[in-house]
Structure 1
């Protein structure tokens, strides 16, 4: 297969998976971001990278947002929102942070490809993405890509779509002022 055909196949996978995104969960997330005092993003590995990009954009919009585990990162409490991503739904570090956030009174939203019973008890909202959730996906009809790549791509596009919605009405000059001051 050529790079062009492989890329087209990947784009089709993303299109198919993204079209199955539960809109009610995403709409709920947008509503919660708008009313949250602060937003915390939690993930591990590549999911954390996707959420770090999202967190950066939230700050560009003037929303106080942190990546859990980074410095600075205050403790979450009531009125805060924790947004997490775990393809497997069982990443120990992510699940532990979500439990702590719930105990502190924060709202929890989770992107996952596997809504486990434990997650259903911990997250207020689960946005389940139709994508492989294992590290080894032999003969998966869902994706020709490695591991949880499709999940991560759909999370990223969902986040960018959320940013586009949240940015409506904010002058681009205002957003640009928050982009950087050292470049």
Structure 2
């Protein structure tokens, strides 16, 4: 139980340090009527699939980068990128392509130095430990990038809840998979 409490305390600390303006920009983006594309590598990619699924439940048009049914991104679309370092190759490539296509790119990262540079002109800093030694100063009992992954999942779920405020449980449930 001590480990669980320590992890919960870590999540409270990390999430309490998120800049409210950046968080509200994300919520406002998710509220918009546009197509949303989600990407991340490794565990960040798994988290983004869960985020895309939740947005689909809220009747948003969503796609996951790399899936065979993902169409071309265009002007007016939004790409949400999850990358602890903000420098992973697929994430940077996808963001550059999206930006060149006229889409909005929004990065969720642990590295504040990446924000404000092309293609990541908009985003949110999630001050959590990643597998990178650069972020080793963030105190955690968790291995590798677990703290970043968990905080990202909680943060993105909260942003979706805020973005879809007023959506009924029944309408979300109506869009839940029924072929399982």
Counterpart check, 1:33 vs 2:11? no
Counterpart check, 1:91 vs 2:85? no
Counterpart check, 1:151 vs 2:148? yes
Indicate the residue corresponding to 1:77 in structure 2. 74
Indicate the residue corresponding to 2:19 in structure 1. 22
Q: Give the structure-1-normalised TM-score.
A: 0.91
Contact 2:84 2:109 in 1 (8 A): yes
Contact 2:129 2:136 in 1 (8 A): no
1:50 to 47, 50, 54: 47
The 1:138/1:101 distance shift into structure 2, 3 A limit, reads: closer
The 1:120/1:36 distance shift into structure 2, 3 A limit, reads: farther
The 1:72/1:152 distance shift into structure 2, 3 A limit, reads: same
Task: Give ranges in structure 1 of 5+ residues lacking alignment.
Answer: none
Runs of 4+ more than 4 Å apart: 135-141
The 1:141/1:103 distance shift into structure 2, 3 A limit, reads: closer
Counterpart check, 1:176 vs 2:173? yes
How many residue pairs are counted as aligned between the two chains?
180
Q: 2: CA distance between counterparts of 1:138 and 1:157?
A: 20
Question: Offset at 1:148?
Answer: 1.2
Aligned Cα root-mean-square deviation (Å): 1.9
Question: Offset at 1:178?
Answer: 0.4
Q: 2: CA distance between counterparts of 1:95 and 1:142?
A: 27
Task: Give ranges in structure 2 of 5+ residues lacking alignment.
Answer: none
Q: SS of 2:118's equivalent?
A: helix
Q: 2: CA distance between counterparts of 1:103 and 1:138?
A: 30
The 1:139/1:98 distance shift into structure 2, 3 A limit, reads: closer
Q: SS of 1:94's equivalent?
A: helix
